[in-house]
Structure 1
Amino acid sequence: MAVTIKDVAKKAQVAPSTVSRVIADHPKITQETKDKVRKVMEELGYHPNLLARNLVKKSSQTIGIVMKESSKHSVYDPFFPAALKGMSDLLHERNYSISLSTGETNEEIYGDVVKMVQGKNVDGIIMLYSRDDDPVLQHLLKQDFPFVMIGKPTTHINQIMYVDNDNVKAARNVTEYLLSIGHRRIAYVGGDPAFEVHKDRQQGYTEALTMAGIQEKTIFQAMITKESGEEVVEALLKMENRPTAIITTDELMSMSILSSLYAKGLRVPDDISLTSFMDSLISELSSPPLTTVDIQPFQLGYEAAKTLIDLLENPDMMKRNILVPTSIVERQSCKKITINKELL
C-alpha cells in the first residue's frame, strides 16, 4: 500500500497540513520541524505527488529553455553547458525543472515554443540569444508570456528583461589589449550579424581601432565550421599586409582557425596572435593556451533564471536588466611585437 501524508504525519507526530507545508517548503515552518518531517518521509519512502500539487497551484514548475540554433549544434558550443549549469543550479534551488527546445531548424524551434506556451507546459521561458526579426520573441510578446533573454534585445527594449555582457566594451577591451602589446593590423572574425551579440562585438572592435587612429579594419563574418575557419585563413594569407593578430568571437571558431594556421605552417603566437571570447577548458587546454575574454556564462545563466523566477513570483515587478562583467584571461596565444618588426 502506498504511503500517504497521513502516515508521515502520524509517525512525525504533526498534523497532515504541516507535512504539506514542509513539502511546499513554507517559510513559517521551523527548520527543526522540516528536518524531522523530511527524515520520516525518507524512512517511509514517501514521495510527494508533484503533478497533483502543480495542478492545484496551476503551475508546471518547469522553465523552458530556447536555444539559438539546433539542439545538435548547441551541445557542442561551450557556452551552452556552462550557461545551463548556472540556470539549473538556481532552478534546482527554487524547485523548478527544465524543458529544452529540441528543434533542428528555426521553424521547429518556433514550433517548440508555441507548444510550450499554448500547452502551458512551462511557467516561463529563457531565450539564450537575441536576434533580429525573431518570431519566437514576437510570439512571446504577443502572448504576454513571462520570459527573460540572455542578450540585449534589438526591439522592445523597455518591455523585455534581459541579462547580458557589455559586448561593445568587451570587444573594445580585447582590441585595446592587442594594441597595447604592439599590434596594429588586427583582424576580426565574428558570427552572424543578425545576432545582437555579434553586432555589438564588431562595434567594439571598430571603435577601438578608430580611437587608436587606425582606419584599416579587417572583418570576417563566418559560420562556425571547420571549412569557414579554413576560408578565413586562406583569405588572410592572400593579404599583402597580413594581420599580426586575430580576434575571434567564438571559442570553436578560434580552434578551427588555430588548426588551419598550423596546417599552413604558421604558429601561434610566433607568426600570428589569436584571441577569443568564452573561457572554458577548450581554451585552457589548447596548444598554445588561448588568451580569451571571460564572459562568465555560468553567471549569465544563473542571473537569467533568478530574474525569471522573480518575475513569476511578482509579475508587476519593475523591469530590470543585468550586465555581467567580463575580464581578459591572458595566456600564451598572444605575443608582444614592435612596430619595426610588424612592418618588415
Structure 2
Amino acid sequence: MPRRRVTQADVAALIGVSQATVSFVLSGRTPSGVRISAETRQRVLDAIRITGYSANPVAQRLAGGHNQILGVFTYETTFPSGGRDFYGPFLIGIEHAAEQIGVDLLLFTSARVVEGSRRLATSGWQRLGIADGCLLLGQHEEQAELQHLLDTNYPFVFVGRRESEGGRLPYVGADYLSGTRRAVLRAADLGHRRIGYVGARTSDQPTRDRLAGYQAAMVDRGLHPSYIESADTVSAAAQIAEQSLSAVLLAPENGPDELRLALSEMRIRVPEDLSVLLLGQPHHRLPGPTRWSGFTIPREQMGSRALLLLSHLAGTSYAGIPSPGGPALGGGRTDPDLHQLLDCTDVAGETLVPPNGRGGAGTLTRSSTILEPKRTHA
C-alpha cells in the first residue's frame, strides 16, 4: 500500500511538542515572546530526519513564501522521439540557469497531448500554484490561456516572441526576421535572382517573422518572391525545378536531407545547381557530413535568459545574479527588458554558392518528363 505523506502534526506527535513548534523550527523564525530551547530544536530536526518529512510547497505558497520552484510547460511533447529533439537545447539552457540561481525545476506533463498539443487548462490551473512562475514553450499556444495568466498576474515568460495586446506578454525569442533577411541578401549578393521560400505559410509567430524577413529583403533587392508550401519533398522538388529557382530558403520544419534526396532524383545537385539556406536548425536531420548554410537559433541562450527573466518576475532572484537586460538583481536592481530578441548566428556552410549561370534548377531539364522522380525497380 502507498505510504501517506508525513505531516507536521506527525512530527510533533512523535516527540510530544506542538505543531506550531515544528513550524517555527522549519521556518527559522520565532515570534516575539516564544522561546525554543536548543535541545527542543534538535529533537524536532531529528524527528524530521527520521520521518522523512518534507514541506508541502503549496502550503508554503499559501503562507506567502516562495518555493524556489519554477515550472516548465511545453505545448507539444517534450522528450524526443524518432530523432526529433526540438526542446532539448532549450531545456539545457534552462537547467544551467536554474543551477546558477539555485531554484528547482518542475516539468508540467499531466496534461495529455491531443492532436499534437496540450493545454494548461486541461491539467488544472491550480497545479501552476506549486511553482513560483512558469516558462512556456511551443508552437501551438492557446491565446485565451495566455490572456488568463496575464489577467491573474501569474508570473510567466514565453520562450519565443509572442505579440499581445498592450505588449504585456513577456518573452525571450530569436530574431527570425533579421536572420532571414540576411540570408536572402547573402544569396542576392552572390548573384542569385530567383530565390524561393520553402515552408508552410502558417499563422504562428516564428513563421510570420521569417516570411516578413524574406519579403522585405526580396523587395529591397527588387526581386519577385516565390513560395513553395508543399509538405511533400518530392512535390517541393518538382516545384523548385518548375520555377527555375537557383536558391531556396528552407524553414526548420522541412528536412534538408530529404529535400536533397528528392532533388537528386531530378538530376538537381546541391549546391552546384541549387543553393540551400536553412532558416534555423531543422526539427529532424538524417545523419550526414553536409554543413548547411543559413543560420542557427540560439536555443540554449534563449532558455537560460528566459529563466533568469522569469526568476526576476517571480521574485526568486538572488542578489548578484545578472538581470537579463539590466544590472545585478538584489539591492538597487532595475527592471529587465520584458521583450528580448536574441540574434541568430549566421552559418557560412557549404550549400550557398554563386548561381551556375544556366538560369536555375529548371534549366537542367531537357523535357518536362525529367520533373518526375526517377523510378527504381525491385
TM-score normalised to structure 2 length: 0.67
Choose which of 173, 178, 186 in structure 2 pairs with 1:169. Answer: 178
Matching residue of 2:313? 311
The one of 162, 175, 179 aligned to 2:188: 179
Q: CA shift at 1:73, angstroms?
A: 7.0
User: For residue 219 of structure 1, what is the aligned residue in structure 2?
Assistant: 227
Conservation of the 8 A alpha-carbon contact between 1:84 and 1:301: yes
Task: Say if 1:108 and 1:174 are closer, same or farther in 2 by CA, change over 3 A.
Answer: closer
Greater mean alpha carbon deviation, residues 99-108 or residues 295-304: 99-108
Larger Rg: 2
C-alpha distance in 1 between matches for 2:274 and 2:293: 13
Q: Counterpart amino acid of 2:239?
A: A
Q: Which of 219, 226, 233 does residue 229 from structure 1 map onto?
A: 233
Counterpart residue number, 1:38: none
**1:249 is the counterpart of 2:258:** no
SS, match of residue 294 in structure 2: strand
Is the Cα–Cα contact under 8 Å of residues 76 and 116 in structure 2 kept in the other structure?
no
* Alignment partner of 1:88 is 2:98: no
Show the counterpart of 1:301: 303
Q: Is the 8 Å Cα contact of residues 70 and 105 (structure 1) preserved in structure 2?
A: no
Q: Deviation string for 1:265-284 (max 9, x for gaps)?
A: 32211121111133489779
Judge conservation of contact 1:69–1:105 (CA < 8 Å) in 2. no
Per the alignment, residue 262 of structure 1 pairs with 264
What is the distance in 1 between the residues matched to 2:237 and 2:95?
38
Letter in 2 for 1:84: L
Indicate the residue corresponding to 1:342 in structure 2: 359
| Residues 142 and 244 (structure 1), Cα distance of their counterparts in 2 relative to 1, 3 Å cut | same
Q: How far has the Cα of 1:290 moved from its partner?
A: 0.6
Provide the rounded CA distance (Å) in 2 between the counterparts of 1:48 and 1:186. 64
- Asked if residue 152 in structure 1 is aligned to residue 161 in structure 2, the reply is yes
Query: Against the structure 1 CA distance between its residues 157 and 265, is the aligned structure 2 distance closer, same or farther, given a 3 Å change threshold?
Result: farther
**Partner letter of residue 122 of structure 1?**
A
**Given that residues 278 and 292 in structure 2 are in contact (C-alpha distance below 8 angstroms), is that contact kept between their aligned partners in structure 1?**
yes
Is the Cα–Cα contact under 8 Å of residues 290 and 332 in structure 1 kept in the other structure? yes
Helix, strand or coil at the partner of 1:342: coil
Give, in angstroms, the shift of residue 318 of structure 1: 6.1
One of 81, 98, 110 as aligned partner of 2:106: 98
Aligned-pair identity in percent equals 19
Change (3 A) 1:265 1:121: farther
Corresponding residue SS for 1:139:
helix
Give the conservation status (yes or no) of the 8 Å contact 1:290–1:331.
Answer: yes
Alignment deviations for residues 218-237 of structure 1 (CA, whole Å, 9 cap, x no partner): 113455xxxx2233123223
Given that 1:290 and 1:333 are in contact with CA atoms closer than 8 Å, whether structure 2 keeps it comes out as yes
* Structure with the largest fraction of helix: 1
Equivalences for 1:1-344 in 2 at 5 Å?
Answer: 51-52=55-56, 55-58=59-62, 59=66, 61-71=68-78, 76-93=83-100, 94-101=102-109, 103-105=112-114, 109-110=118-119, 112-115=120-123, 117-119=125-127, 120-129=129-138, 134-191=143-200, 193-214=202-223, 216-221=224-229, 228-237=232-241, 239=242, 241-250=243-252, 252-279=254-281, 286-313=288-315, 317=335, 320-337=338-355, 340-342=357-359
- Count residues with an aligned counterpart: 300
Residue of structure 1 in register with 2:18 after alignment: none
Preserved contact between residue 66 and residue 109 of structure 1 (Cα < 8 Å): no
Structure 2 distance, partners of 1:166, 1:320, is 15
Partner amino acid, structure 1, of 2:159: I
Contact 1:251 1:276 in 2 (8 A): no
Change (3 A) 1:254 1:118: same
Corresponding letter in the other structure for 1:278: G
1:92 shift after superposition: 3.1
SS for the counterpart of 2:197 is: strand
Give structure 1 stretches of 5+ with no counterpart: 1-18, 23-44
Alpha-carbon distance, 1:336 to partner: 1.6
Q: Is the 8 A contact 2:252 2:282 kept in 1?
A: no
Task: Measure how far apart 1:47 and its partner are.
Answer: 12
Deviates more, 1:93-102 or 1:126-135: 126-135
> How far apart, in 2, do the equivalents of 1:242 and 1:327 lie?
29
- Residue 109 of structure 1 deviates from its aligned partner by 1.1
Residue 251 to residue 262, structure 1, CA distance change in 2 (3 Å)? farther
The Cα shift of 1:78 comes to 4.2
The answer on whether the counterparts of 1:123 and 1:146 sit within 8 Å (CA) in structure 2 is yes
Root mean square deviation of aligned Cα:
3.8
Aligned to 1:39: none
Structure 2 residue runs of 5 or longer lacking an equivalent are 1-24, 29-48, 318-333, 364-378
Q: Distance in 1 between matches of 2:54 and 2:165?
A: 36
1:94-144 per-residue CA deviation (whole Å, 9 max, x = no partner) reads 22123144632369611x455353232333222224668633323322433
* 3-state DSSP of counterpart to 2:130: coil
